[in-house]
Structure 1
Amino acid sequence: MINKVGQIMLYVTNQDEAVKFWTEIVGFSVISREDDGQGMRWIEIAPSKKAETSIILHNKELIAKMSPELNLGTPSLMFFTENLDKLHKGLSNNNITVGEIVNMPSGKVFNFADSEGNYFAVMEKSE
């Protein structure tokens, strides 16, 4: 039986730019880096070193050649934060594309785009 989400694969065109975006702009940490020495490398990132779920940044072009049957589209991810307004302002101040803050029954939410134009959402849950 499955009891948690361990890792999410995110296929990107430029792994180095993706790491820079997620760590320097969004505030994630690099958990590990792997390189098989033959061109296959991946970087594990997460909101903190203690997070139960992490994101693995893979080279989209290489994975497409190795496994053409895989869906390499961007997953629809919803992140949570305890200070949505501060995060929204911080991303905006870094010239990141952000959507308007919307009030939903479950909390405030907005979306943002990474350096490759992939969109993600973030929510501050209502109490």
Structure 2
Amino acid sequence: MITKIGQIMLYVTNQQEAVDFWTKKVGFIIVAEENGQGMRWIEIAPSKDAETSIVLHNKEVIAKMSPELNLSTPSLMFTTENLDKLYNDLANQRVTVGEIMEMPTGRVFNFADSEQNYFAVVEKSN
């Protein structure tokens, strides 16, 4: 039985740009980094104790190793307790953000990474 999602693979064109975006603009931390056998991957997460992390892989390297894989960007929905603060923090760092919308699940907005992949954030309180 599956009990949780451990890692999400995110295939990027420029790993260093992706690391900079997620750590410097979004506030994630680097959990682990491996560089061996011609392959580098960087594991990032919102915090050290996060249950789910994102692993940044080089899209070109993975395509050569496993051409059958779907390397499209997954549609991810993040949560925050303070949507307005996160929205303003990202906008102040010149991150492309969509307008805040009211949805049945709560207030939501989307943002784009440095490769113009869009992700969503919903406000939820604990």
Structure 1: where are the runs of 5+ without partners? none
- Aligned-pair distance for 1:23? 0.3
Corresponding position of 1:73: 72
Identity %: 75
Shift of 1:39: 2.3
Asked whether 1:109 is paired with 2:105, we answer: no
Alpha-carbon shift at residue 126 of structure 1 (Å): 6.6
Give the aligned residue type for 2:75: S
What aligned pairs does 1:44-63 form with structure 2 within 5 A after superposition? 44-63=43-62
Count of paired positions: 126
When normalised by structure 1's length, the TM-score is: 0.96
TM-score by length of 2: 0.97
Counterparts of 1:81-96 in structure 2, within 5 Å, are 81-96=80-95
Distance 2:81 2:88 in 1: 14
- 8 Å Cα contact 1:107/1:126 also seen in 2: no
Contact 1:106 1:126 in 2 (8 A): no
Counterparts in 2 of 1:113-124, with a 5 A limit? 113-124=112-123
